[in-house]
Structure 1
Amino acid sequence: MLRIHFTSEDLMRVRLAPGADPWWEAMLSARQIDLLGGPLVYDEWRSQVRSALCSEAREYLRVAPSGRLGLRTSAGGGADLIEGRDAALRAYHEQAIAPYWSVLRREVDADIATRARILTSAGTAALLASTHPSITWREPVLSIDSSVERDVYLAGRGLTVQPAFFCWRSPLALSGPGFAPVLVCPIPHRMSSLRSSGTDEHERALAALLGRTRGAVLVALTYGASTSELARQLGVSRPSASEHVGVLREAGLVTSRRERTSVWHTLTPLGHAVLDAGTAPPDAGQRSRVRARA
């Protein structure tokens, strides 16, 4: 049994992760690659990725279970950390996670939204109690069914609840000297194949026009986003997100403005037109106007 002990200060510092975390998804998915009889929901992803991984990415599979590669000392910042770490982790992320990132993010964001409603309507205790069926909350201790007998004392550091697509069966807890305590928990899965983001016709068309990442940036900016939010949504570093936005801004598709300590990006009318062009065919009137202009 794993027992997580809370103080009153810890209960005030329970928080939901802002979104899917590339580092956790990489580490947890690595356990699924060669797992015989693994969860069916990962089958198509497993067969596609296993046959395509380069030698550098396979090196990550060798060392990932030990935690010797990509170990981090604080919660959050997964995309930045991946870019700055060993080539094996970067190669694995690029081949096994990045092509599926919009799917992973969408599923995890939906789960976070559900948990956020529980938190705001019923409070912290209800959120903790509802995290997973294997969890029992008896204040001030959160107990998780586990083969490992262990006690974790938060000691005022709080706890981040991180839903993860590739977390399977039961939650995981990470805590120790230098670590911000994290509880990683599974999300509900639909029994449908995990498909690459590139299978969507709209995203494929945008990728052909702008490149895969810049097409994804255009989609992500439908309702506007800051540089940090954009990086999180796409699973890239902030400098990389800023660079892609800069290219789209130069093309007249995006406009940016500073708001206090962050920069907010939105689509221009031209950006919306490019985005909308991929979602529905023009009507007869539009087609005639296009031919007239031509």
Structure 2
Amino acid sequence: MLRIHFTPEDLTRVRVAPGPDFLWEISNSVQTLQRTDGERVFGAWRRWARPRLPESRRLLSPLLPPYGYSPDFLTPTAGDRPTLRAAVDTLLGTPPPRLRGELARLAGSVRLPGWVAGLARGDTETLTRLGDALHAYQARALLPHWRRVRADVEADRALRLRDLMDGGTEALLAGLGPDTRWRPPVLEVTYPVEQCLLLNGRGLVLQPSFFCWPAPTTLADGRLPPVLVHPIRHTADWAGPQAPTAGRAPLGRLLGRTRAELLRAAGRGCSTVEAARVLQVTHPAVSQHMNVLRAAGLITTVREAGRSFHVATAEGRALLALEERAADAPDHRTRP
């Protein structure tokens, strides 16, 4: 059991991460790739990804065993990391004493290959090799699905923020899922080991993760900036043969006033019931139009307790932003 202890100040400093974290998704997916559970969600992706990852998988898997401890330096929490390159640069800048300590702890539970000794020394060539493996893994295993990863993480974030707006921070913490229980002032999390995390006014970042499975996780070192990484709900068949690939979306099907209104509503986040009420159309009609928007990659849908909640993806928000800019642009047409 993981027990996270909050002070009153911590309750005012809880925030939800704005999107997927590159290195958490890499780390969680490498671990998930080595496991066999979660077949319904990850089975198709595993069968697709394994043949594509000979070198990067060989380097990353020993550092990220499917169960138990993995080094914290692989998922750094300090600094602004808007790109994978920035995230990897932060990782490669880990001080050698920390590398040695965390890799020594890992060596106590798994057998490590010889090249890890160079990593523990902070050897530049070995660090570069690790950075290249992270970039290669992201490009081959995750990038083709990154639009779906990002959309589902953003949908989960919208649900968390709705809980926050409706019931405050305690409702946000209470709604994290079946593996968490809020017992003020402690958040209890299903965990393979006993761990206590004292926030002491530092607050907590909630990081939704597409590949986190099956329960939430956190950093082993409680002195690091606190983060709780938690699983999300996944779009059905996201990695199946009909799953959309990067750069391909049937945008031509999106023409029409009703769909445009639904996309605007999804830009704010809306349920099927709310959209039907605002547009004065039937629930089946909303569902049909949302299916088209979803197939085009412009919205994603999360289902919770019998309710469908629709959120515009980054592509959908980009279209809405273009519409707004066009509406704000001066009219240069010749007037009679």
Match status 1:122 vs 2:140: no
Q: Name the stretch that deviates more: 142-151 or 2-11.
A: 142-151
Offset at 1:190?
3.9
Match status 1:74 vs 2:78: yes
Distance 1:119 1:133 in 2: 18
Residues 79-126 of structure 1: per-residue CA shift (max 9 Å, x gap): 221366511111111111111110100111111101111101110001
Distance 2:37 2:2 in 1: 26
Check 1:157–1:141 CA distance in 2 against 1; reply closer, same or farther (3 A cut): same
Residues 191-216 of structure 1: per-residue CA shift (max 9 Å, x gap): 424256527743899xxxxxxxxxxx
Counterpart for residue 319 of structure 2? 222
Counterpart for residue 202 of structure 1? 249
Report the secondary structure of 1:180's partner residue.
coil
Report the secondary structure of 2:249's partner residue.
helix
- Which segments of 5 or more consecutive residues in structure 2 lack a partner in the other structure? 93-130, 253-313, 327-336
Residues 32-87 of structure 1: per-residue CA shift (max 9 Å, x gap): 22323443211121111100114134312232333276341427626221366511
Number of residue pairs the alignment of both structures matches = 219
Counterpart for residue 102 of structure 2? none
Counterpart for residue 144 of structure 2? 99
Report the secondary structure of 1:152's partner residue.
strand
How high is the sequence identity, in percent, across the aligned residues?
37
Distance 2:171 2:316 in 1: 35
Offset at 1:22?
1.5
Match status 1:151 vs 2:200: no
Check 1:27–1:180 CA distance in 2 against 1; reply closer, same or farther (3 A cut): same
User: Contact 2:145 / 2:246 at 8 angstroms: preserved in 1?
Assistant: no
Report the secondary structure of 2:196's partner residue.
strand
* Structural RMSD (CA): 3.2
Match status 1:135 vs 2:180: yes
Check 1:16–1:67 CA distance in 2 against 1; reply closer, same or farther (3 A cut): same
Offset at 1:157?
0.7
User: Contact 1:21 / 1:76 at 8 angstroms: preserved in 2?
Assistant: no
Report the secondary structure of 2:215's partner residue.
coil
Distance 2:210 2:226 in 1: 19
Check 1:99–1:130 CA distance in 2 against 1; reply closer, same or farther (3 A cut): same
Mapping of residues 217-256 of structure 1, within 5 Å: 221-224=318-321
